[in-house]
Structure formats: C-alpha cells, structure tokens
Amino acid sequence: MRLDPVSRLDSASEEGRPPSPPVPPSGMARFAPSGQGADSERELRGRRFLWASAPAAPEGQLRAALDEAVELALALRGALPPRVQDGAALEAVIGDQVFRARALGAAGLAVALPRLTGGARGALHPEDSATLLAWLGAAREAPVALVFDESDRSAQVLAPVPLSDLVERSATEGHSAASPRAQVRSLPAREPREPAAPREPERPARPAQPSAAAPDEALPPEARATEAPGAASSASEGRSDGRPRGVLPPRSSRLRRPEAPAGTFAAARGPGAAPVPGAGAPPAANEALAVAPGSADPEERGAGATLRPPRAGHDAAPIAEAAQADADALPPTRRERKVPRNRILSAAEWRALAVELDNARGPKPVRVIEQLFATHYTPLLGATLAGETDAAVRGVVDSWRTSFEHSYREAFSALRVTGKRPPMVFDAPDMAARLARLNGARGVKLLLVDAMRFDLGERVAAHLKEVMTDRAILVERSLLWAALPPTTTAQISLLARGPDGLREAMPPSEAEPAIARGRAVATLRRERVGSRELMKLDLVEARLRAAGPPFAERIEAIAEEVADVVARFMDSLPPRTLLLVFGDHGFRMTGDGSTTGPASQGGGSPEEVLVPAQAWLVGGVH
C-alpha cells in the first residue's frame, strides 16, 4: 500500500510518533548558454532559492571563490555565522551553508559557477576537480542548484575511478578489438532463441507497489508526475539510516578526510554552538528541514540538463578510497594553499559581525554605543585597514562612522547647554581620585598619551599585563569621550577649565602642537594643566605623522614602545599609587593591507572621539 503525505501523517498520529519532516526540494545541475545566466537566476529566485554568483577564479582557487560568493550572499540576507571549524572538509562547509540558507526561509542554495580554467589538455586543476565533485555530490542529496557555463561542457574533470574498472574496461575493449567479426556473426544465431517477446506486456502490472529503490525513469511521465510525493516518501523511508531526502549523507560515503568530523549538514554546526546575539537561536536538527518546506517538481528539475557523476553506477566506497589516495598524493604545496581558506573563513566572520552592527540602527543609549564600538566597530575597522574585508563590510563600517559623526555633532551642541553628557576626557582627574579612594591608593598620577585611541590602548594594556605581572594590577578600564574638535589643544584647554569650559567658547581649531623628535619622543614630559600636574607622552603622535607598514604591524610596534615607557614609569612610582593612563583623542588612518598612510585627526569619527582610560594600582600587589 502506497502512503501519501496525508495518510502517512494519520498513521503516524495513530501510532503516537511524530510525523517525519517535509522533504526539501532536490538539487540540480545544469548548463546555461553564455550571456543567458539571468534567465536561470530569475527561475531559481522564483523558486525561492538563495542565489550566489561566483567571480572568476584563478586555477586551483575555485573553492575559495565559491565560498566567498556564498558567504557574501548569506551575510547580505542576515544569515547565521558559520559554525564549521577552520580547515573543515568542503562537504561540511557546504552542508553548513545549505542549513543557514534554509534557516533564512529559502528553498535551497543556487550557485552560478564562473568559467572553469583548465590546465594541460583542458584538464581542471586537482583542487578545482575536488571542489566540483563535492558540490555535485551536494546537488544530488540536498537542495543545491548549480549553473555552469555552456562553454564548460567539454571541461575535463579529474574524478577518482577504481582501478578494477579500468582493468575491466581495458580487457573488454581488448577482446572487442581482437574478434569483432565473431561477435557480429553470433548475433543472428541468438535471435531465434529469444522467447521473451510475448511476456513483455506482463511487466507493467508490477508497479502497483513501487519500490523505494526503483528509478523514476521506469515510470511514464504521467506516472512520475502523480507518484512523485509517494516516491519521495518511500525513498526517505527506505533508507537504512532513517535519513530523509535532502539531508547530506555522512561524509564517510563520499570523500573521507580524517581531519574533519563526519555528519550531516544539519549537525555540522554542533549541538553546543552558541547563538549569535540578535540572530536568534538555530533550529534543531529535526526542524531544519521544516523551516522552508518546498515541493520538488519533476518537470522543473527536468528543465535543465542534470549532470551525472563519472561512473555513478559503481559503489561509492572504492571512489572514496581512491579520492583519499589521490588527495594524499598531492604535492606539499597544497598545505600552502590553506592560507586563502583561512582568510575566507575570517572574512565570513567579519561579514557576520558587520550584519550585527548594521542591524543596530537608530537611537541608542551611551552604554550600548560604547559596547558596539568596542566589540563590533573597532575589530571591523582593524580588519578593514588590514585588507581582510570585502566591499560590503567596508560599506557598513563607513556608514556607521558617518552616522556616529552626524549624531555626535548634533548631541554635542545640546550637551554643552544641558550638561547631560557621558564621561569625557576632562573628567579624567576626578575619575582617578574616585578610583584611588575605592582601591585604597596613597597617591594619584595622571599619564596622558597623546593620540592613543581605543584599539591602541587595548594593545598597550595587554603588553603591560605581561610586563607588570607582579608589580601592578589593572583595576579599572573605561571609555572617555573627547570634546569637539578632538585635538590636543582643545582637550588640554578643557582639562585646565573643567566642565565649565564646555559652556564657554571653545578655542579655535589649531594644528597639533610641535613635538619632540628622535629619542625625545619616548620621554615623558611633565606639564602643568590648570591646577593639576600630569605626565604627557608624545610617542604615538610622532609615529603617526608619516606613512608606515601594514596596520597590524604598525599599531603593534607602537603599542610595544608605549608599554615600555609606561612600565619604566610605573617602576619609579611608590607603592600603592594609582596611575591613570588615558588618551586625549584618537586618529584616522588609511590602509590597503600592505601599507598605511599618515594619520589624521580633528574629525568626529568614533575612533577619534572615543579614547581609553586605564587605572593601574602600582605596588602592593599580591
């Protein structure tokens, strides 16, 4: 008796077990004529597939190009961040991407592949061939649609083939070439001995109970259209592992690699993966297929030419073993190609972080703005300057910077009148006195590091923790807001006048004061600011006035220099002294990943306005 979805649901209810999840649409692979890829895109988008178009890739880098295109499409839709580990097998990566696409409500994942670059005699690179085999395997088992260029129909894909097949084929071809006439002459002798013609009409009577393993080609088109739901349900029930169609099988049945765990794409994220804030918790494994149920129409699948894997009629185990042997035989340079993969994974994480930052729009309290700045904006800014992000992430960073600058300029005019303001740079002396009382300090010292912005201050604190392990302890760290304009002249003036200086006319915006050169930049200068005395360090300001190396290398070198100077000053302080290290303003820097230009200051960007303040208790540490 054939069970349709309704009867299966009723029988499951009577037996007291939950019904099986709906079957997702099957994947496909087709060729599209050059210049007509838009038709395939419209069709697949109409069927609720998430579309990703991969750019042209150099030889051997097809996997990186496909990963970047899919991750960008997922990030633009606000998908969950990837949960596969760095260096995971491609099958697990594809399964995780399909899961995240279906979690968005899409019916599946559609990928338009670029023109394939062949090497000698038109054969694809081994890495590109392995990538195509993995994606084609996913298209046969999961809702993945692949669109190839028509000109790539004759591309030679390196696919693992068992040695026994080659030996048998060679023996068969050799026998055929040795005695072709004997085979031709033997055919008429067997024709009179075929009595099966009268029994042919009896065969159509058996499909009354179709088997789950019977191919769709055995039925006429009308029967396939009517039997599709039942066949799909029977196929899902006929699997030995209880796996419904649409879930990727364990990787052991395809390309086995010992460094990555096996599992379906629904379980690739891991049961203990923490959800992303604001993105919602991921669905359970048995709910992953029910997010976006869709029907698999056989006629629609037949619209394009479906690609079949090489020698698909053979067992998958010898193919997997041959694929592993082929992967082990690759030259050692393959290990060097893992660097772009690491970069793609980090780029995906940056995109997920940018999506969260972009979603946090609108008016926010000061504490929320400071948290977004420290946990989202600053890391994205550093990755952008290091050249690790794409255009979409850079657009989010620029948009958040512009919005912050516009809002703060408007709010600054109001806070000068109302007095309702966040902690500002000129509040540093009062903050130090309060923290000294709370921590039982006997003295207070102020150290102003000119142009020390937040990310630089974090690196300085990390170095000081390593150097001053048993001599000082960090008791407080916070953010201070610089008054406009964020220049040394304006902040020193407000430090001298205090909060009352906000209500008075701000001094005219001037260029940064002259600073020492050479070794003198690493020397602390004692300055009198109003009724207070503080130490001032111009090292950061001096190092930023010219172009330099890449961002990460340059900022780390400056942080080490600053930490050495501050550590020597801490050693000279008496025990139980509270030292407040803070910046007066930040800076902006441009970079392309290989070099950075001179820093600029005086604007209203977040990195120029928000500066760090760190309170260190020196001596008496147990």
Instruction: Report yes or no: 364 and 403 within 8 Å, Cβ to Cβ.
Output: no
* Cα–Cα distance for residue pair 205/192, rounded to 1 Å: 27
* Residue 532 confidence (pLDDT) above 70: yes
Report the pLDDT value the prediction gives residue 390, as an integer from 0 to 100: 87
**What is the per-residue pLDDT across 479-516, written as a single tens digit (0 to 9) for each?**
999 999 999 999 999 999 988 888 887 666 555 566 66
What whole-number percentage of the chain has pLDDT above 90?
39
Instruction: Report yes or no: 295 and 246 within 8 Å, Cβ to Cβ.
Output: no
Contacting residues for 34 by C-beta, under 8 A, at least 6 apart: 149, 150, 151
Report the pLDDT value the prediction gives residue 472, as an integer from 0 to 100: 94
Q: Which residue has the higher pLDDT, 619 or 181?
A: 619
Instruction: Report yes or no: 152 and 115 within 8 Å, Cβ to Cβ.
Output: yes
* Helix/strand/coil for 419: coil
Report the pLDDT value the prediction gives residue 516, as an integer from 0 to 100: 61
* Residue 581 confidence (pLDDT) above 80: yes
Q: What is the mean pLDDT of residues 595-619?
A: 94
Report the pLDDT value the prediction gives residue 194, as an integer from 0 to 100: 46
For 538, counting Cβ atoms within 10 Å of its Cβ (0-12 exposed, 13-18 middle, 19+ buried), the class is buried
Q: What is the mean pLDDT of residues 75-87?
A: 82
Report the pLDDT value the prediction gives residue 305, as an integer from 0 to 100: 38
Q: What is the mean pLDDT of residues 41-68?
A: 89
Report the pLDDT value the prediction gives residue 25, as an integer from 0 to 100: 54
* Helix/strand/coil for 239: coil
**What is the per-residue pLDDT across 267-278, written as a single tens digit (0 to 9) for each?**
333 444 444 343
Q: What is the mean pLDDT of residues 428-439?
A: 94
Q: Residue 557 to residues 44, 73, 280, 543: CA-CA distances in angstroms? A: 51, 37, 40, 10
Report the pLDDT value the prediction gives residue 432, as an integer from 0 to 100: 96
Split at pLDDT 50, 70, 90, the class of 119 is low
Picking from 253-257, 383-387, 542-546, which range would have the lowest pLDDT averaged per residue?
Answer: 253-257
Quick one: DSSP state of residue 123? B
* Cα–Cα distance for residue pair 539/521, rounded to 1 Å: 5
* Cα–Cα distance for residue pair 511/515, rounded to 1 Å: 12
Question: What tokens were used for 365?
Answer: 């309290």
Report the pLDDT value the prediction gives residue 515, as an integer from 0 to 100: 65
Instruction: Report yes or no: 249 and 265 within 8 Å, Cβ to Cβ.
Output: no
Picking from 380-394, 434-448, 577-591, which range would have the lowest pLDDT averaged per residue?
Answer: 380-394
Report the pLDDT value the prediction gives residue 108, as an integer from 0 to 100: 93
Q: Which amino acid is at 282?
A: P
Q: What is the mean pLDDT of residues 504-531?
A: 74
Q: What is the mean pLDDT of residues 5-12?
A: 40
Report the pLDDT value the prediction gives residue 508, as an integer from 0 to 100: 60
The pTM of this model reads: 0.50
Split at pLDDT 50, 70, 90, the class of 257 is very low
Instruction: Report yes or no: 617 and 576 within 8 Å, Cβ to Cβ.
Output: yes
Picking from 25-39, 53-67, 364-378, 607-621, which range would have the lowest pLDDT averaged per residue?
Answer: 25-39
Split at pLDDT 50, 70, 90, the class of 123 is confident
Q: What is the mean pLDDT of residues 592-605?
A: 90
Report the pLDDT value the prediction gives residue 77, as an integer from 0 to 100: 83
Interhelix angle 551-571/454-467, rounded to 10 degrees, is: 50
* Cα–Cα distance for residue pair 41/287, rounded to 1 Å: 28
